[in-house]
Amino acid sequence: MKRVYVNEQWCLGCHLCEYYCAFANSGVNDMVKALKDKDIYPNIQIEEDKDVSFAVSCRHCRDPLCVKSCISGSLSISDGVIKVDQDKCVGCYTCILACPYGAILPSPRGVVQKCELCVDNIGGTPNCVKGCPNAAIVFEER
Amino acid sequence: MPINYIYPDYEVVRDSSRCITCRACERQCANEVHSYDLELKCMVSDSMNCVDCQRCVSLCPTRALKIEKTTNTFKENANWTQSLITDVYRQAESGGMLSTSMGNPNPLPVYWDRMLINASQVTNPSIDPLREPMEIKTFLGRKPEKIRRDENGRIITEMSPQLELNVPIMFSAMSFGSISYNAHESLARAATKLGTLYNTGEGGLHQDFYKYGKNTIVQVASGRFGVHKGYLDAGAAIEIKMGQGAKPGIGGHLPGAKITAEVARTRMIPEGTDAISPAPHHDIYSIEDLRQLVLSLKEATGYKKPVFVKIAAVHNVAAIASGIARSGADVVVIDGFRGGTGSAPTRLRDFVGIPIELALASVDQRLRDEGIRNNVSLVIGGSVRSSADVVKAIALGADAVYIGTGALIALGCHLCRSCHTGKCNWGIATQRPELVKRLNPNVGYQRLVNLVTAWSHEIKEMMGGMGINSIEALRGNRLMLRGVGLTETELRVLGIKYAGEIWS
């Protein structure tokens, strides 16, 4: 299965992936309308310190600890993609504790949010991959 | 300073109705033009430091940015132009030479644009390169004068060393130091994939790139940086650089700030020291001296590699090329006055040297007149901008061309002419690691491959249109060119007819 991978060597720390992610998940078809004067809550986040930076998003593990830890059954695996049903999530954040990558995040609604590889919004290549200016984020089989 | 004489040439224009304050512009500008104002909660820009490299414009996800030429205007004067006045202000302040980079931007005639290419109609059929073979493979090196036979009458097939190029386009010399590691890797990998050559420039060959040696021309310049036996053996050919089109008659100066540990090791000089290439080779004061170096390099490499000699196109270029053709060199390289550079004094770049089109035509003619054209191959560079320029160059007599600026543009360069500042936002002309990483060679090499592949399709189409199916039949075929807007003298030097004149 194709997953999102990050080549730290080529990450510029421009943070554009975060904005492309927020845009893809906004449900709005114009980036300005979607993001202007709004706080964004992307599912991919840049970690950086001095000259090192890299993007972190869900690894879509084959044996995911988050799904095992979910007490409400809101996290599930669908065709290899780990999805969250925000209507079922009770906001206990056990998955956030369990995820070794810090890839699950609390959303402004209180429930958790996570990368779903853009399968239910734009489809195809995830928007962070499309938007990365240096091919540091790739979508490929490994 | 209380009086600010200099107003920025270019201004950042931000459409705040489109700006989403993602701050990518701020993070990507090494000149620190953009910043986020915490109180106003918006992006602000200081155009004073903007070099118009277009990095922010290219990355802005909502197209909220553009750079405009300033409308701030000094009183109009056709003699004292605004840029000349500003240059005086700069020099009155600094007391130094004006520095710049990349090629001559002045509106001097571009002869490529005044030559038009022929095509077949009715009396000779054009050829469709998608259906019929079309040969653009090119061999560089000394060609035999005549067929020679041994005592048994068998043909002697031994030739001087030849380079085989799949396309008549090579990447010109750009040193590691003037451009980044990633730029070099992109060029080396692209040359390998395309079956052509790139050129190390005068900065030596990084140890990681020895594996691309079959597609590398190693350069020996006046500073002799990074030259040793292993280096000479690594390349497919050796180029002696006598001059460069952007700054004929002077050497080079790579500031210590660009001499990082890697550059220092490759150049074999101490880290952080200025790398100064002398204006002349101190061991070459005549063609005879040049011959000694050519032969020394051949001796050192077992006579297996062609030796190029590169000179800038200057007034006496034809006579100098004639000398080089007799020096034992295999390839003469002529670099025109529009050629790029990582740094040059502005006045030299803009006013020294001559156009490559005229230099090429006169060199080719001179070598033919003297019966020594086959002694050498002829390669030209110095602003070959498109496949049409390549076709015209070959029709004027070139065997192959070098592209440097065009290749860098493919890698993202926007010709902001600020290479000498070392803050290239595109990761090309810089050694700062955070900027170098902006050029991902996996992307860069593919863009170079795409460019040259696209040009070779176009070259084949133009050749097919002329009814020519082999690049050999185009070489020096000046009847395939016609001039427009040229004087009698220009036509005579170019050796072409005026548009509308017929064959005979």
Which residues from A are below 8 Å from B430, CB to CB? none
Nearest CB to B440 within list A15, A51, A135: A135
Between chains, do A15 and B443 touch, taking CB under 8 Å as contact? no
- Chain B interface residues (partner A, CB cutoff 8 A): 17-20, 22-24, 27-28, 58-59, 61-62, 64, 433-434, 437-438, 440, 442-443
Residue B491 within a domain? no
Residues A123-141: tens digit of each pLDDT = 999 999 999 999 999 999 9
Tokens of B296: 């020394």
User: According to CATH, what is the number of the domain A1-57+117-142?
Assistant: 3.30.70.20
Q: Do B20 and A32 touch (CB under 8 A)?
A: yes
List the structure tokens of A55: 């993007």
Mutate to test the interface with B, among A7, A36, A46, A53 (most CBs of B within 10 A): A36
* Gap between the Cα atoms of B428 and B419, Å rounded: 9
Pair B316, B404 in one domain: yes
Q: How far apart are CA B500 and CA B112, in angstroms?
A: 18
Per the domain annotation, does B446 fall within a domain?
Answer: yes
ipTM of the complex as predicted = 0.94
C-beta of residue B335 within 8 angstroms of C-beta of residue B313:
yes
Q: Per-residue confidence at B465, pLDDT binned at 50, 70, 90?
A: very high
Contact (CB, 8 A) for B476 and B364:
yes
Rounded Cα distance between A4 and A117, Å, is 7
pLDDT surpasses 70 at B187: yes
User: pTM for the whole thing?
Assistant: 0.96
The answer to whether the CB atoms of A35 and B22 lie below 8 A apart is: yes
Count of the separate structural domains present in chain B? 2
* B90 plus B161 within the same structural domain: no
B366 lies in a domain? yes
- Interval B433-444: pLDDT, tens: 999 999 999 999
Average pLDDT across chain B, whole number: 96
Which CATH number goes with the domain that contains B227?
3.20.20.70
Model pLDDT for residues B245-294, shown as the tens digit of each residue: 999 999 988 889 899 999 999 999 999 999 999 999 999 999 999 999 99
Based on the fold, state whether residues B187 and B313 are members of the same structural domain.
yes
Report whether CATH 3.30.70.20 matches the domain A62-114.
yes
Which residues 94-123 on chain A approach chain B with CB closer than 8 angstroms?
none
Cβ separation A12–B62 shorter than 8 A: no
For Cα atoms A46, A126, B446, give the angle at the middle one, nearest 5 degrees.
90
What is the identity of the amino acid at B27?
Answer: R
Which residues, in sequence order, are CB contacts of B417 under 8 Å at separation 6+?
Answer: B51, B100, B101, B102, B105
Chain A residues in contact with B434 (beta carbon < 8 A): 12, 51
Give chain A positions within 8 Å (CB) of B28: 12, 14
Question: Which structural domain, as residue segments, surrounds residue B190?
Answer: 128-144+156-477
Where are any strands of DSSP class E within A1-142? 3-6, 45-49, 52-56, 75-78, 81-84, 105-106, 112-113, 137-140
In a domain, residue B382? The reply is yes
Q: Quick check: B333 and B358 in contact, CB under 8 A?
A: no
Is the CB of B18 less than 8 angstroms away from the CB of A134?
A: no
Ramachandran area for residue B460 (φ above 0: left; ψ -120 to 50: alpha; else beta) = alpha
Q: Do B20 and A134 touch (CB under 8 A)?
A: no
For residue B443, which residues of chain A lie inside 8 Å, CB to CB?
A: 134-135
